Amino acid sequence: MSLVVAAAPPVPLDSTAGRYVAAAYIVVLALVLVYVAIMAVRAQHLEKELAELRRDVEAARAGGEADPEHEAVLAGERRSV
């Protein structure tokens, strides 16, 4: 890492040009990071929905609603996930 830093060309951050270039690259990085953050939030919601679904299925099982065919379908779903 230190070798890379040593070999890096001087980035003129003290000049106007350097600041503009840094701003452009930061904008791209920020866009990607915001997108990934939004996707992370969505993944959390999906996990919540899955947890709710699991609870509902377990409740249905406990209530004796499940039948053998239903069990087979659920097992298949688990395998495909």
Partner 1 sequence: MQCSTSSWRISTPSTTYGRGLRSLSLATIITIAAALALVFFYAPLDASQGFVQKIFYVHVPLAIVSLCGFVFGGLLAIGYLRTGDRRWDMRSYVAIHMALIFGVGGLITGSIWAKASWGHWWVWNEPTLVSFLIVLLLFATYQPLRFSIEDPERQSRYASVFSIVGGAFVPLNYLAVQLATAYVHPRVLTLGGANLPPSMGLTFVVALIGFALLYVTLWKYEMAAKNARSQVRRLRRTLLGDDIARPAGRSAAPS
Q: What is the x/- site pattern for partner 1, positions 37-56, by CB under 8 A?
A: --x--xx--x--xx-xx--x
Helix, strand, coil share of the chain (percent; to 5):
80, 0, 20
d(CA 5, CA 12): 14
Question: Is residue 67 a contact residue for partner 1 (CB under 8 A)?
Answer: yes
- Alpha-carbon Rg of the chain, whole angstroms? 26
Query: CA 19, 21, 27: angle at the middle one, nearest 5?
Result: 100
Q: Is 14 in the site for partner 1 (CB under 8 A)?
A: no
Among 6, 32, 33, 37, binds partner 1 (CB under 8 A): 32
Residues binding partner 1 (CB under 8 A)? 7-9, 11-12, 15-18, 20-21, 23-25, 27-28, 31-32, 35, 39, 42-43, 46, 49-50, 52-53, 56-57, 60, 67, 69-70, 73, 76-77, 80
